[in-house]
A and B are shown apart, each in its own frame.
Chain A
Amino acid sequence: MAIFNLKKREIECKVVYYGPGRCGKTTNLEYIFGAYKKQVKGEMVSINTEGDRTLFFDFLPIGLGQIRGCDVRVQLYTVPGQVKYSSTRKLVLRGVDGIVFVADSLEVRREKNMLSLKDLQSNLKEYGKSIFKVPLVMQFNKRDLAEQGIPLMSVEQMQKDLNRQLQVPAFEGSAVKGDGVGVTLKECLKLTLQSLQREFKWAQ
């Protein structure tokens, strides 16, 4: 849940990158850390395990500066994608204000995407939130691998699989190259702040 300090006109919200294992959640944060130095407000912390897999979470604090009279700070997190870290995912998701769902465009990961989205829906439900109401943006990652002849799902297929009912903004991306990373985050932040404005009327 976002923290407001109305006296100091400060707002701090939480955005979580969710998705199946090895889909590129950490790579998104690494790109943001490297490319948006002006906005980054601290070190990126990654707690990894064997093979650079996220064990607990990645964390990156950023600042958006003054927006409508309020100093806006955002905490970016990733969850561990591996199925066995279910309880950690739930912990990291607690108090979330906005979500980026990173889907893997590889054909071989089709089912994992769908299972992860279902897992997100289930975890949100346990916190009393609806996946249809939470600010959510999708990124179809790894589009660059098509150049190497790797079988990818078409964007239409991914929309049909993952976004047919949700109808949330979705962007093609290549986190490793930085393509689509900024626009995805920007859209998620926009939706998140709009949602918080509707709920708390923080903006002047």
Chain B
Amino acid sequence: MDIKQRLKAVLQEAEIYRSQGLISEAQSKYKDAVNIVNSIEKLKNKESLIKAISDKIDALKTTKEKVEKGPTTPELSQKAQDLIKNLFAFSESTDQDSAALEGAVALAKFGQFDRALTELNGLLKKEKVRVEAAKNILQCHLASAGADEAINQYQQWYTGDLFHANQLEAVRTFLEEVLAKKGVEANLPSLLETIDPQLEEAVVEVQPQVEVEEEFLDITSIGITFDAGPRKGKMVEFDVNFQSGNMLSLIISKQENELIETLEERMELKDVQFFSPIAIFNGAGVVASKTKIKTGPKQGDYCVDIRIVST
């Protein structure tokens, strides 16, 4: 190919990459073009041509910087935030508070921390979801403002009277673990150390549950290999609709009669695969409860709670 034709082809290729938003590829082609121009000895307007191409390379550099430095989590419109809540709150729970918690967590996962914090703070009033809301508030602070903000928040809760001792202990343990992973050592005060001795026994009783809760990752789904019933020897996968520590809630369609009948309360599940976003692990569980859903879109389906007993 004639060298001028080759130059033309390379410039065209660079221009197409630029129009496609392929910045590095366009830059590379423009640089090839500069080299070609330099290799042509008797080219008219050589300097001005090189300058024109260099300007394009500079412009691409600016674009690249903008793309790389652009906000990773800009605050979205309320409409977009509502959409995120609707689309990414995966729980099909009919429980209003749990659903609200899922929505707020979805906002946090997409970096919409201001609104997530507003909603999570509102959920602190709800006993059932208070601890999970608190943990997510701390996660928001850690992601948006840093460790100090999270620690300050914990201190406020510690001096306040919103949390029961065991609830605050669960939050404290969680925060200390998260901070430790980030290399931050924090000796957070514990209500259990200052509690009225008369109450100590009662608190100590719930303490193991708190510790167990902290050991578990978020489980997205589980695979149960049945050792009895019509599906004996087969693994059946279930999505986890809600998780609280080591307790997983599954919704099983009323169409799945066999499964519902097989999963009896107190049944031991010896071969369970737990799928979490960061790891898959094997373990065992026990069917803690099985409840028929009486109202709502899942009416007639069953909510089965499975307690993880070993991993």
Interface residues of A (CB under 8 A from B): 1, 3-7, 21-22, 45, 47, 49-53, 55-56, 59, 75, 84-85, 87-88, 90-91, 94-95, 106, 108-109, 125-128, 142, 145, 148-151, 200-201
**Are the C-beta atoms of A108 and B22 separated by less than 8 Å?**
yes
Chain B proximity of A93: nearest CB distance (Å): 10
B253: A residues at CB distance < 8 A: 4, 6, 200
Measured in the bound complex, the distance between the Cα atoms of B90 and A6 in whole Å is 19
Given contacts A90-B277, A128-B221, are A108 and B25 in contact (CB under 8 A)? yes
B216: A residues at CB distance < 8 A: none
**Are the C-beta atoms of A55 and B17 separated by less than 8 Å?**
no
Select the residue from B12, B20, B76, B220 with max chain A CB neighbours within 10 A: B20
A56: B residues at CB distance < 8 A: 84, 110
Measured in the bound complex, the distance between the Cα atoms of B63 and A106 in whole Å is 21
**Are the C-beta atoms of A59 and B237 separated by less than 8 Å?**
no
The answer to the question of B194 belonging to the interface, with a C-beta cut-off of 8 Å to chain A, is no
**Are the C-beta atoms of B9 and A59 separated by less than 8 Å?**
no
**Are the C-beta atoms of A53 and B72 separated by less than 8 Å?**
no
Chain B proximity of A126: nearest CB distance (Å): 5
The answer to the question of B70 belonging to the interface, with a C-beta cut-off of 8 Å to chain A, is yes
Measured in the bound complex, the distance between the Cα atoms of B239 and A52 in whole Å is 34
Given contacts A108-B22, A108-B25, A145-B16, are A127 and B90 in contact (CB under 8 A)? no
Given contacts A91-B110, A128-B237, A149-B9, are A22 and B71 in contact (CB under 8 A)? no
**Are the C-beta atoms of A50 and B13 separated by less than 8 Å?**
no
**Are the C-beta atoms of A52 and B21 separated by less than 8 Å?**
yes
**Contact residues on B (Cβ < 8 Å of other chain), bracket:** 35 or more
The answer to the question of B182 belonging to the interface, with a C-beta cut-off of 8 Å to chain A, is no
**Are the C-beta atoms of B275 and A6 separated by less than 8 Å?**
no
Measured in the bound complex, the distance between the Cα atoms of B50 and A61 in whole Å is 49
Output the nearest chain A residue to B276 by Cβ-Cβ distance.
Answer: A126
Given contacts A53-B67, A55-B74, are A128 and B90 in contact (CB under 8 A)? no
In the complex, which of the residues B12, B63, B70, B84 contacts A149, with contact meaning CB atoms closer than 8 Å? B12
**Are the C-beta atoms of B22 and A45 separated by less than 8 Å?**
no
In the complex, which of the residues B76, B90, B223, B278 contacts A94, with contact meaning CB atoms closer than 8 Å? B90
B299: A residues at CB distance < 8 A: 7
**Are the C-beta atoms of B17 and A108 separated by less than 8 Å?**
yes
B17: A residues at CB distance < 8 A: 106, 108
**Are the C-beta atoms of A22 and B20 separated by less than 8 Å?**
yes
**Are the C-beta atoms of B22 and A126 separated by less than 8 Å?**
no
**Are the C-beta atoms of B70 and A49 separated by less than 8 Å?**
yes
Instruction: List 7 tightest A-B contacts by C-beta distance, closest first.
Output: A128-B275, A50-B70, A108-B25, A22-B21, A50-B66, A49-B70, A50-B67
Chain A proximity of B294: nearest CB distance (Å): 14
Measured in the bound complex, the distance between the Cα atoms of B259 and A200 in whole Å is 13
18 contacts between A and B (CB under 8 A): A1-B239, A5-B297, A6-B253, A47-B76, A52-B21, A55-B74, A56-B110, A85-B72, A88-B110, A91-B88, A106-B20, A106-B22, A108-B17, A126-B278, A126-B280, A128-B221, A128-B223, A150-B13
